[in-house]
Amino acid sequence: MSENIEKYLSFVSETVAQSTLVKMTLSKPAQKRDDLRNIYVKPVLIKEKRLFAFTYHYERRDEVKNYDAAQMLDVLKEMLPNRFLNAVLFTVDSDITLLVSSKGKTTIQTKKMQECREQNLEHDKQKARLINPANPWWYQLGLTTREGKITADMQHKFKQIYKYAEIVESLIKPMKFGGTVHIADMGAGKGYLTFALHELLTQRLNLDVDIKGVEIRPDLVLKINEIIKADNLKGLEFVESSIDAYHPEKLDVLIALHACNTATDDAIASGIKAGAELIVCAPCCHKQIRQEMERSGKVDAITRYGIFLERQAVMITDTIRALILEYFGYKTQVMEFIEMEHTPKNVLLVGKKMSRKPKDSTILQQIAELKTRYGISRHYLEALLPMQ
């Protein structure tokens, strides 16, 4: 261990002994392929005992571990410089930075603060959650225990729900609605995402909503409406209907997550016809275009492989959907819904209604070129809308 690193660790030890450490960060991994990206350290008080909370930020997860003073220094000796080349120690009156060059040269920089900082010894500071698993409907829907703890087999599902809530909040929050927001969740299924949407909009964004969960299975509709009634959730109702048969009188936001095959097209068409301000779809099971491509016999170096044909069909299907939305005056965006490790259905297609003039003929030309290239006679969504 170099002299400067020993000197730096002695600074850390002094601040620990004097209770002047405010926080500490370790960054710049020594190996670029290291999954551990950085570490954040802060003092905490747990059961009247002063400890140090290490938050390990990995590529796809965070871990928090609490150490006493001796353990903390042992961890820092292990991490510097083997895992991290930069460290910053924030004390009540100064910043002390350790820099390690790629050649192993170490430098210590000290900066005095004009005003003293204060320590925050709170542990597990409560965050304003988008979705609160302690709400009773999550237990009634089978995601949590009675105490509001997410069950082990539902951890991935809840992560998906939370990611959905984050995306929807970012889409809806900037929008201006006059009065009640009318929303249809097409193919709502067991209601997980519908309840998340209601909770997000009413409890976090304080919106007056009228949300309809559209579901064809009568047993699910009955069960979910019983939960809604038991929890006295205003502005939320499930209705028994297929997607293509549901025609709302007023619609501001249309949601269709994992509506199978052309049911996604039925939902998009319904949103366009109703003049929805926002259309959000996670398409699923792109059979119609794949079957057209297979019948045409047109193959290239990509589509002659079955798995690549499937993926190409997915991209073409959703590209044409996005283009059709643009044709009818929507600004489109395609984003990731959730990591592939949790579900392969990870594409979210978003359309925001714009004031620009719709029905640009160049879009029709782009659609025609795609269809010709891959031997597609029609896209199902074209048949549902006036495309000329």
User: In sequence order, what are the residues at sequence separation of 6 or more whose Cβ sits closer than 8 angstroms to the Cβ of residue 127?
Assistant: none
Residues 360 and 277 in one domain: yes
Residues 178 and 95 in one domain: no
Residue-level pLDDT at 128: 56
pLDDT digits (tens, 9 = 90+) for 129-179: 788 888 999 999 999 998 888 998 998 888 889 888 999 999 999 998 889
Residue 270 — φ and ψ, nearest 5°?
A: -60, -40
Does 307 score more than 90 pLDDT? no
Residue-level pLDDT at 360: 83
Beta partners for 109? 97
User: How does residue 226 score in pLDDT terms, banded at 50, 70 and 90?
Assistant: very high
**Does the residue 128 lie in any domain?**
no
Average pLDDT, integer, range 307-326 = 91
Residues 142 and 83 in one domain: no
Residues 301 and 358 in one domain: yes
Residues 184 and 333 in one domain: yes
CA-derived radius of gyration, the chain:
27
Q: What is the CATH number of the domain that holds 315?
A: 3.40.50.150
Residue-level pLDDT at 344: 46
**Does the residue 118 lie in any domain?**
no
367-377: b (≥16 Cβ within 10 Å) or e: beebbeebebe
- Give the count of beta carbons closer than 10 Å to the beta carbon of residue 114: 5
Domain that holds residue 340: 136-384
pLDDT digits (tens, 9 = 90+) for 68-110: 999 999 999 999 999 999 999 999 999 999 999 988 999 999 9
d(CA 75, CA 304): 53
User: In sequence order, what are the residues at sequence separation of 6 or more whose Cβ sits closer than 8 angstroms to the Cβ of residue 81?
Assistant: 5, 30, 100, 104, 106
Q: What percent of the chain has pLDDT over 90?
A: 62
Does 260 score more than 60 pLDDT? yes
H-type helices in the chain, by residue range? 3-18, 69-79, 136-140, 155-172, 192-199, 218-230, 263-274, 287-296, 306-327, 361-373, 380-384
**Does the residue 359 lie in any domain?**
yes
Residues 79 and 156 in one domain: no
Task: Please state, in angstroms and as integers, the Cα–Cα distance from residue 309 to each residue in 77, 378, 385, following that order.
Answer: 52, 17, 27
More confident residue, 192 or 122: 192
Average pLDDT, integer, range 311-340 = 86
Average pLDDT, integer, range 32-41 = 91
Residues 283 and 203 in one domain: yes
Residues 106 and 162 in one domain: no
Does 214 score more than 90 pLDDT? yes
d(CA 349, CA 332): 7
Residue-level pLDDT at 345: 54
Residue-level pLDDT at 198: 96
Average pLDDT, integer, range 196-222 = 95
User: Which of 42-46, 222-226, 355-359 shows the highest mean pLDDT?
Assistant: 222-226
**Does the residue 343 lie in any domain?**
yes
82-91: b (≥16 Cβ within 10 Å) or e: ebbbbbbbbb
Residues 147 and 54 in one domain: no
Amino acid found at 217: R
**Does the residue 121 lie in any domain?**
no
- Split into its structural domains, the chain has a count of 2
User: How does residue 184 score in pLDDT terms, banded at 50, 70 and 90?
Assistant: very high
User: How does residue 322 score in pLDDT terms, banded at 50, 70 and 90?
Assistant: very high
Residues 356 and 207 in one domain: yes
User: In sequence order, what are the residues at sequence separation of 6 or more whose Cβ sits closer than 8 angstroms to the Cβ of residue 359?
Assistant: 327, 328, 329
Residues 103 and 154 in one domain: no
**Does the residue 122 lie in any domain?**
no
Residue-level pLDDT at 123: 57
Residues 144 and 77 in one domain: no
Residue-level pLDDT at 126: 45
More confident residue, 370 or 46: 370
Task: Please state, in angstroms and as integers, the Cα–Cα distance from residue 268 to each residue in 243, 282, 367, following that order.
Answer: 10, 11, 17
Mean pLDDT of the chain: 89
